[in-house]
Amino acid sequence: MAAESLSIQDGAQEKLMSGYRSNPNSAFRRFLAIIRELLDSPTSAFGLVVVTILLLTAIVAPLLAPYDPNVVDLGNTLKPPSSEHWFGTDELGRDIMSRIIHGTRISLTIITIVSVIVGPIGLLVGTTAGYFGGWYDTVMMRITDIFLSFPSLILSLAFVAALGAGLENAIIAIGLTTWPPIARLARAETLTFRGADYISASRMQGASALRIIVKSIMPMCLPSVLVRVTLSMATVILTAAGLGFLGLGAQPPLPEWGAMIATGRRYMLDNWWLVAFPGGAILLVSLAFNLLGDGLRDALDPKQR
Amino acid sequence: MTNERLTAFTRQAGTILATLIGLLILTFCIGRLMPVDPVRAIVGEEADQATYDMVAERIGANLPLWQQFFRYVNDLAHGDFGTSIRTGQPVINDILHVMPATIELATFAIIFGAGLGIPLGILAAVRRNRPIDHAIRFVTLIGHSMPIFWTGMIGLIVFYAMLDLVGGGGRLSDYYIGLVPEATGFLLIDSLLAGDMEVFRDAVNHLLLPASILGYSSLAYITRMTRSFMLDQLNQEYITTARVKGLSKNRTIWHHAFANIRVQLVTIVALAYGTLLEGAVLIETVFSWPGFGQYITNNMLIGDMNAVMTCVLLVGIIFIALNLLSDALYKIFDPRTR
């Protein structure tokens, strides 16, 4: 993975930089060009469409859901899928489709907060470590190594156990375990153009280290970091669902998909729809982020094809 | 040993030491952050203040944090990993007791994952961009994207509840439990030692589904990596040369390309084996498998501090060791790194 990402540079930089230098209109055109490129391949188009649907569903969830996700209907428990309840009902008679639709809001919250935390932290740690080098680099990379020496789910589990179960703590724990690979990547990228002529040029013109990092290095790392964050989201979705399933993430009655599967587990042998549909939703979203990430890599880096 | 190699060796030893110290700090922080009062956990809710103070004094709960940390490291250095609050046993004994179940599961999973993943990866690379390549990539992508606990449940619903092909949860059916004496903790070995084929068959029957589902998740990774390693080789000129000189396609693939990626594959499989621990946490919960994964989850849910700290430390050490092992394998088998 690292070796692959290392080579995402030249073409990608020019493509993205062209958007930075010129007016907002051409940046927008550049954005459209990337979207068009994503839609060209069926797999990344699928990823883009599913992620867009997820976004829209989360926004209009109450309008879209046929029932209230939390209303208990004890006369209608454990009903298999039918024309009234497309995905059936759960042990309390709640409509599973409505719960999955409302669950998109939780998934989207997790994804948004985690990316907002890990993108900038990873970028900042990686670029500064790569640019300054020396003992600062050594310390920072030792720290990321320690985090990287754990599978992400086990470390998140440990953090949640320390902080207490719940959705907020699960998000913090996932954030804590997601930034190190991004920092590693940003550092590797920084190292490759730390010695470039244009960096020396701006240093000789008297630009401060901060200015060089923010203005010249960070934009160069952006494409690969963006690809990496998108791919990480596939793992984040799985980890969040896993925590919810183990009872350490979102707590019932929240319609979080992993937690829904955990409660459905007791009835699953006779009522498959309790676990099949929420799990299908997790698989779909995780798959979509993987495909979108692969597509973005192709779109931002023509060399990879 | 030349001077250069000595320096490299010292540097690597320093790195390992620094990572280990970091690991200790991390587990210590996790332990101290936990919302459990370690003294209260030992003396119970009803104990009076005098008892509380006495125990606090004995375990050093009122010392400054850095002194507590040194105490923690000192205990570890003497092989004392603390006592589990839940079972009252030394944590390390508990872990040694549950480990065989997980190793049995993970070993079968990796045999499945590597045994199928490597051939699939080679096939995908050789038939690059053909339908078979797309099909293989699709299957591996699904394996990479699926929530493993969900796949486990669907497997149980289909193969256990509907088709009745495999055993359900647990390592054995209820009526077989305790029939063979526990010698190694590995049920397959124990039942063979006792010569009880019925128990052996039942154990295999219970192992099949969780191991293949766990293996599927590592298959995805192994196939992807094999494919990209093979493509790297196949694109090189020596392959063209070999073909031009009249070597058959099969011989080129197996004797040249594959021979060159063997070392990389060994390291990948070693790392995948470690990653199985993660899947084991979830799959063991689904299948009520009494292994390390279930042990760690149960203790996290009830906040058994010593057990959680030791488990996290152990996972970290296993990963560091696997990384070192794969580095060492590179150095031994790849003459270019010497």
Which pLDDT tens digit goes with each residue over A41-93? 888 999 999 999 999 999 998 888 888 888 888 888 888 898 888 898 888 88
Inter-chain contact B35–A164, Cβ cutoff 8 Å? yes
Tokens, residue A278: 């929420």
User: How far is it, in rounded angstroms, from Cα B320 to Cα B131?
Assistant: 39
Could you give the CA distance from residue B284 to residue B268 in angstroms, rounded to a whole number?
24
CA gap B268, B109 in Å, rounded: 15
Closest CA to A145 of A157, A159, A129, A124: A129
* C-alpha radius of gyration, chain A, whole number: 22
Residue in B146, B277, B281 nearest the CB of A283: B146
- CB-CB contact of A159 with B30 (8 Å): yes
Q: pTM of the full predicted structure?
A: 0.86
CB contact under 8 A, B275 and A157: no
Whether B135 has its CB under 8 Å from any CB of chain A: the answer is no
Contact B181, B214 (CB under 8 A): no
Contact assignment for B142 to A238 by CB distance below 8 Å: no
For chain A, what is the mean pLDDT? Answer: 86
Is B300 in contact with A160 (Cβ distance < 8 A)?
yes
Q: CA B73 to CA A115: how far, in whole Å? A: 36
Q: Under an 8 A CB cutoff, do A234 and B30 touch?
A: no
Contact A268 B316 (CB under 8 A): no
How far does the CA of residue A288 sit from the closest CA of chain B (Å)? Answer: 9
Q: Which of B124, B116, B114 is nearest to B234 (CA)?
A: B124
Residue A95 phi, psi (nearest 5): -75, 120
Q: Which residue of A has its CA nearest to B281?
A: A154
Measured between CA atoms, the residue of chain B closest to residue A43 is B138
CA triplet B88, B89, B90: central angle to 5 degrees?
A: 125
Long-range contacts of B290-294 (CB under 8 A, 24+ apart): B290/B98, B290/B101, B290/B170, B290/B171, B291/B98, B291/B99, B291/B101, B291/B102, B291/B105, B292/B95, B292/B98, B292/B99, B292/B101, B292/B102, B293/B102, B294/B98
What the block records as the tokens of A210 is 């901060």
> For B52-103, what is each residue's pLDDT tens digit?
887 777 777 777 888 888 888 888 888 888 888 778 888 888 898 899 999 9
- C-alpha triplet A211, A216, A221: angle, nearest 5°: 125
Nearest residue in chain A measured CA to CA from B162: A269
pLDDT at A242: 93
ipTM value of the model?
0.85
Of B242 and B332, the one with more pLDDT: B242
Query: Per-residue b/e over B171-202, b at no fewer than 16 CB within 10 Å?
Result: bbeeebeeebeeeeebbbbbbeeeebeebbeb
Say what the pLDDT of residue A243 is. Answer: 92
